[in-house]
Amino acid sequence: QQPVQSPQAVILREGEDAVINCSSSKALYSVHWYRQKHGEAPVFLMILLKGGEQKGHEKISASFNEKKQQSSLYLTASQLSYSGTYFCGTAGGSYIPTFGRGTSLIVHP
């Protein structure tokens, strides 16, 4: 079953912050975040494993709460290059992710 992402779309100005949420109805062992620019392949951002960890990647970080079966992606001081569609993938014991429908992020100058 696909995880649910919210919001479906976000429009920002450069320098603003954004949060993308991902929730699942199933028990999770890992959460995978990818970004896809228009017409390109998805590109890996990070994996978070069971244990409630947080990770950071420049100004993009994420948290994973396996008890709530949720993950959030935080984009701080957004840049034009952050524009794209963000996918979360949630996985059970196989660690093979099932992806949500994505959140479209548009950053304007």
Partner 1 sequence: DAGVIQSPRHEVTEMGQEVTLRCKPISGHNSLFWYRQTMMRGLELLIYFNNNVPIDDSGMPEDRFSAKMPNASFSTLKIQPSEPRDSAVYFCASSPRQVNEAFFGQGTRLTVV
Rounded to an integer, what distance in angstroms lies between the CA atom of residue 40 and that of residue 57?
A: 21
Bridge partner list, 32: 47, 89
How far apart CA 69 and CA 32 sit, in angstroms, is 13
Partners of residue 13 on adjacent β-strands: 108
| Nearer residue to partner 1 within complex by CB, 81 or 94 | 94
Among 23, 30, 72, 78, binds partner 1 (CB under 8 A): 30
Which of 10, 102, 105, 107 touches partner 1 (CB under 8 A)?
102
**Whose Cβ is closer to partner 1: residue 40's or residue 109's?**
40
Angle at 104 between CA 65 and CA 4, to 5 degrees: 40
CB of 23 to partner 1, least distance (A): 15
Q: Does 95 bind partner 1 (CB under 8 A)?
A: yes
Interface residues toward partner 1, by CB under 8 A = 2, 30, 32, 40-44, 47, 49, 87, 94-102
